[in-house]
Amino acid sequence: MSEVHERVVRFLRSRPDVTTADLAAACTLGESTVKNYVAGRMAETTRIREEMGRVMDLVDRGDVLQPGGGRAVVVAEEQFEAARRVAKRHEFYVTETVRRIAHVLEYCAEQAAIGVVTGDYGVGKTEGLNAWRRGTGRKTEAIVFEFDEFSASNKVSFIQALAELLGIDSKCGMHDATKVFRAVVAKLRETPALLIFDQVEMTRPRILQIIRQIWDRTRDQGVGVVLLAAPVLMARLKVSQMRDLGALESRIGVYANLRGLGKAEMAAIVKQEGITDIDEAAFDLFWKATGGSMRRLLAALDMIKAKHQGKRITERTIGGVAGHLWGLRTEAA
């Protein structure tokens, strides 16, 4: 048993709510491959070891498969009054990530194309989408669909949920799903819109096939599609031998792989947030610890301003914040 296999097994034992299907959704391996690997019925190839190791690293950082969908907060009775205070909202920063997302959305809306936007967890895909909808996207008819565990794995659940967003009566069983699919197509032909799907890395191939079939039947009327996902989605599309996924990949008209915050962008945001007394070595460590994630950066800034306001920020400060928030160990800490 390898070190990676032991990590996976320990994780599953500690998290009975997580299945091998959940692990497969976070990587490029098939569900049956992950299931057999965990059970010890499949030899550990280099690809399996690398993929499962990558997923375990994401789990350790809290980027995927968090218990309950996020960190739990325990509020004691004596803390109740303090807990009622609403945290100050950060400024919204128009970064290169936000601009690239807007470009894909505008292109797909104007050209009735399929676009894919990928980026690691926390880089700002959803916030970029929201910014576009508040700004130039206000005049674009758009439907935003965020996948969950049910709609991402069950085609009937998916088509029902999409129909409801379009104002279609979607009460149906397995045998009526075809009628709902046709109603969705008819509605989009009558009232074209940009279909935006978020958290697409969760979806099973048959769901992506339905999205592709809807677009095939409505693109001439002006329907565009944008898929927002973690980078694993494009990896799946490229390595999959399934015909349906290949059919989707061949239709992608524009693709943006987001790398998150640039170093200069991060420096500007840190300064704008009032953190000015930080030495160069500390900032370099800060940059590496956040990994281009806007979510991580803002969480760290909140802690720094709460605990170290007015103090010089050193490598030790950043090491402590990284260890507290994400469990990262640094030499400085």
Q: What is the 3-state secondary structure (H, E, C) of the chain?
A: CCHHHHHHHHHHHHCCCCCHHHHHHCCCCCHHHHHHHHCCCCCCCHHHHHHHHHHHHHHHHCCCCCHHHCCCCCCCHHHHHHHCCCCCCCCCCCCHHHHHHHHHHHHHHHHCCEEEEECCCCCCHHHHHHHHHHCHHHHCCEEEEECCCCCCCCHHHHHHHHHHHCCCCCCCCHHHHHHHHHHHHHHHHHCCCEEEEECHHHCCHHHHHHHHHHHHHHHHHCCEEEEEECCHHHHHHHHCCCHHHHHHHCCEEEEEECCCCCHHHHHHHHHHCCCCCECHHHHHHHHHHHCCCHHHHHHHHHHHHHHHCCCCECHHHHHHHHHHHHCCCCCCC
Residues 154 and 247 in one domain: yes
Are residues 144 and 273 part of one domain?
A: no
pLDDT score recorded for residue 79: 35
Question: What average pLDDT is seen over the chain?
Answer: 82
Identify whether 91 is part of a domain: no
User: Count of domains in the chain?
Assistant: 3
Task: Say what the pLDDT of residue 208 is.
Answer: 92
Same domain, 269 and 243: no
Domain assignment present for 168: yes
Picking from 79-83, 194-198, 207-211, which range would have the lowest pLDDT averaged per residue? Answer: 79-83
Tell me which of 13-17, 81-85, 199-203, 232-236 is least confident: 81-85
Q: What is the pLDDT of residue 207?
A: 93
- Based on the domain organization, do 46 and 152 belong to the same domain? no
Predicted local confidence at residue 225, as pLDDT = 97
Q: Is the pLDDT of residue 141 over 80?
A: yes
Residues 189 and 205 occupy one common structural domain:
yes
Domain that holds residue 62: 3-68
Percent of the chain clearing pLDDT 90 (strictly above): 30
Q: Does 193 lie in the same domain as 152?
A: yes
pLDDT confidence of residue 171: 67
The mean pLDDT value for 109-130 works out to 90
Are 141 and 202 part of one and the same domain?
yes
Are 132 and 250 within one domain?
yes
12-49 per-position pLDDT tens digit: 988 877 888 888 877 777 788 888 899 998 888 888 89
- Asked if residue 141 and residue 284 are part of one domain, the reply reads no
- Domain membership flag for residue 9: yes
What pLDDT, on a 0 to 100 scale, did the predictor assign at position 75?
30
Residue 84 has what pLDDT?
Answer: 37
Residue 286 forms part of a structural domain: yes
Is there a single domain that holds both residue 317 and residue 268?
A: yes
Confidence of residue 126 (pLDDT cuts 50, 70, 90): confident
